[in-house]
Structure 1
Amino acid sequence: MARRDHYYDPDAPQANSIVVAVTVFAQDDEDRVLLIHRTDNSLWSLPGGTQEIGEDVSGTAVRETWEETGLKVKVTGLVGIYSNPNHVVAYDDGEVRQQFAISVRAKVIGGKLAGSSESAEVRWIHRDELESLPIHPSTRLRIYHGYDGDAGPYLG
């Protein structure tokens, strides 16, 4: 399903839903962050997705990372909670979601990098490469907060 992000856009459609999403900030031993190249909007992003009924946040993080990257992770902490009402996502079926994402920190414990129908490419990205990639501002914020782990969880 196609999507369009509206970020501080005065012409954005009015939100008609709010759904819990989970994103995963994982680093390797070289201080690189795990990113996927999304198929629905062609942007680079943290792995993640919608929490399903019967799942807890950690379960969503583990499932979504496995589905999108081929890697198994263990959740180790909280990066932050992102609920900016000025960020809405419009889908082609008429749903317009207000952002509500919980970003967690995780450690890779197994698997092998692999793309999926949601991720055209999966890569470990060096911090100095981030500025050259097309990344949504809200995702970029989560990545920076992930790298700034000593600051405590972000609430906003």
Structure 2
Amino acid sequence: MLLYMSNSARETQSTPLHSVSVAGAVVREDGRLLAIRRADNGTWELPGGVLELTEAPEDGVAREVWEETGIRVEVDELTGVYKNTTRGIVALVFRCKPSGGVERTSAESTAVDWLTPDEVRERMAEVYAVRLLDALDGHGPHVRSHDGKQLIQAR
């Protein structure tokens, strides 16, 4: 039995699959940054998660921040695009302003805190700290790749 596959079907099969996530770099008026300690691995990161298929990126950021922290946000602008080359995850990071709510943990977070930039550098792995620090510098959007542990320098 001979099977025929169209060119578009062949191209689709060879196209690498990526997951798209969104995260909020939530900056308070005093310059402190919103962070969570993840329930699954205990690491400090900015709040975020997988973008749903029918969801606009800005809506996904607001939803994820709310779900993980209890903080409502206004989404300002895209500050960076970060690719985990090992896991095939592309993360879109948006600077946000808090607009209400009260800090609380969730099933995904065991702690919620407002950190100074120095505390971000101390508590977070480089690949997550850079996302928050990039959001502060006003020179974005930044585009960076990493292997899950360390940044990969651009060529």
TM-score bucket of the superposed structures, by smaller chain: 0.7 to 0.9
Deviation at 1:130, TM superposition (A): 2.3
Task: Verify: 1:130 aligned to 2:109, yes or no.
Answer: no
| Other-structure match for 1:7 | none
| Other-structure match for 1:38 | 38
Can you list the C-alpha shifts for 1:19-53, whole angstroms capped at 9, x where unaligned? 10001101112110000000111110000000012
Deviation at 1:57, TM superposition (A): 0.2
Q: Percent identity?
A: 36
Deviation at 1:84, TM superposition (A): 4.2
Structure with greater helix percent = 2
- Give unpaired runs (5+ residues) of structure 2: 1-15, 145-155
Q: 1:34 to 1:76 in 2, by over 3 A?
A: same
- Give unpaired runs (5+ residues) of structure 1: 1-15, 89-96
Task: Verify: 1:28 aligned to 2:28, yes or no.
Answer: yes
Corresponding residue to 1:152 among 140, 146, 155: 140
| Other-structure match for 1:63 | 63
| Other-structure match for 2:83 | 83
Q: 1:132 to 1:152 in 2, by over 3 A?
A: closer
Matched residue type, 1:117: A
Aligned partners of 1:116, 1:66: CA distance in 2, in Å?
10
State TM-score, norm by structure 1: 0.78
- Which secondary structure does the structure 2 equivalent of 1:129 belong to? helix
Contact kept, 8 Å, 2:121 with 2:129, in 1: the verdict is no
Matched residue type, 1:145: D
Can you list the C-alpha shifts for 1:108-145, whole angstroms capped at 9, x where unaligned? 11111010010100010112222331x23211111120
Matched residue type, 1:155: V
Contact kept, 8 Å, 2:78 with 2:95, in 1: the verdict is yes
Matched residue type, 1:57: P
| Residue pairs, 1:86-101, within 5 angstroms | 88=86, 97-101=87-91
State TM-score, norm by structure 2: 0.78
Query: 4+ residue runs of structure 1 moved beyond 3 angstroms?
Result: none
Deviation at 1:61, TM superposition (A): 0.2
| Other-structure match for 1:92 | none
Over the aligned positions, Cα root-mean-square deviation in angstroms equals 1.4
